[in-house]
Amino acid sequence: MKILLTGPTGFIGSAFARLALGQGHQVAGLALPGEALPASLERSVTWLRGTLDAPPWREIGAFAPDLCVHAAWITTPGIYLESPENERFRDWSLAFVRQLLRLGVGHIVGLGTCVEYQIGTEPLNEERTPAGPTTTYARCKDELRRALEAETRASRFGFGWARVFYPYGPGEHPSRLCSSLIAKLRRGEEIVLKTPDSTKDYIYIDDLAEALLTVVEKRFCGIINLGTGEGVTVRQMAGFLGQCLGRPDLVRVAPSLERDPFPFVVADPARLKSLGWRQQVPWQEGLGRLVALVGV
């Protein structure tokens, strides 16, 4: 399969590209002009220089993709949730996909987010759980999804929307939770847990890439969760890392707790599992792999 990939140098995009190439697919990556390319992918990906709002349409047409995986978006920790750039990515993405359809690309897979859902206390299900985005990031993702669903009714192309839960692992931004906890423990800094019982569905990056490739290869249409179905608390994660690094004494719960707006974000993975996907890396093993790499 010939796959056009946006965001190919990002955490998720690069992991997906490596796996897809290893499975015999051809991948063309839309990289920013002047952007450094991952050494592991530099010679195996067909690199196309451009942006979502000014794509290299001639080169994309020459590659003639069968399918596009749209992973490009703003994801900078501490910034992305309320950044006005989300509005621009929504608009750029819609225009980009519409032009791909004019070129004859027959299937689009977009990356959404688990926090498009209305968060409650039960696992999030594609059919039963209503949408209820509360951040600019989630709202713009959901608006793009709705716009593309409307396009499918007019153009009749294949459209899958993969709601990503909480990926972690080698290559993640150092400010993301897992890597930041490991770095602090290695520096001997105390970790004070302000939302110790906050429960999230953490999925190891290799498992996430496998899940996304499964969705692509099956040409799945509709909304699908990319999560494991297992919730892990911040307390469990920090405690495990403290034990791994021999510094459990550095982990404590704050005397005054804060409210987490997303206290329980866990996938119902039944739909993904129905496609044949299975988790390969439990969270303890995944954190152990990350410990071996971060801050050494």
pLDDT at 295 over 70: no
- Does 130 share its domain with 214? yes
Tell me if 296 is assigned to some domain: no
pLDDT tens digit sequence for 132-154? 999 999 999 999 999 999 999 88
Tell me if 119 is assigned to some domain: yes
**CA nearest 236: which of 178, 296, 170, 172?**
178
CATH of the domain at 182: 3.90.25.10
- Does 145 share its domain with 6? yes
HSE-CB at 30 with a 13 A cutoff on CA atoms is 27
- Does 72 share its domain with 191? no
Tell me if 215 is assigned to some domain: yes
- Does 90 share its domain with 191? no
Q: Could you list the residue range(s) of the whole structural domain that residue 246 is in?
A: 172-201+230-264+281-291
pLDDT tier, 296 (very low <50, low <70, confident <90, very high otherwise): low
- Does 192 share its domain with 211? no
- Does 56 share its domain with 95? yes
Tell me if 152 is assigned to some domain: yes
Tell me if 193 is assigned to some domain: yes
- Does 76 share its domain with 177? no
* 163: CB partners within 8 A, 6+ apart: 112, 113, 114, 116, 117, 124, 126, 223, 224, 225, 226, 227, 267
- Does 222 share its domain with 109? yes
pLDDT tens digit sequence for 106-119? 999 999 999 999 99
Look up the pTM and report it. Answer: 0.96
Q: What percent of the chain has pLDDT over 90?
A: 97
CATH of the domain at 220: 3.40.50.720
Q: CB–CB of 161/222 below 8 Å?
A: yes
Residue 196 sits at φ, ψ, to 5 deg, of -60, -30
Tell me if 269 is assigned to some domain: no
Alpha helices in the chain (DSSP H): 11-22, 57-63, 85-102, 136-155, 177-186, 205-217, 234-244, 270-274, 283-291
- Does 73 share its domain with 120? yes
- Does 115 share its domain with 62? yes
Quote the pLDDT of residue 153. 87
Quote the pLDDT of residue 294. 75
Domain count for the chain: 2
pLDDT tens digit sequence for 228-239? 999 999 999 999
Strands 202-204 and 232-233: unpaired
Quote the pLDDT of residue 87. 98
Tell me if 275 is assigned to some domain: no
pLDDT at 293 over 60: yes
Mean pLDDT of the chain: 97
- Does 76 share its domain with 122? yes
* Start-to-end Cα distance in the chain: 38
Quote the pLDDT of residue 155. 86
pLDDT tier, 195 (very low <50, low <70, confident <90, very high otherwise): very high
- Does 185 share its domain with 100? no
Tell me if 274 is assigned to some domain: no
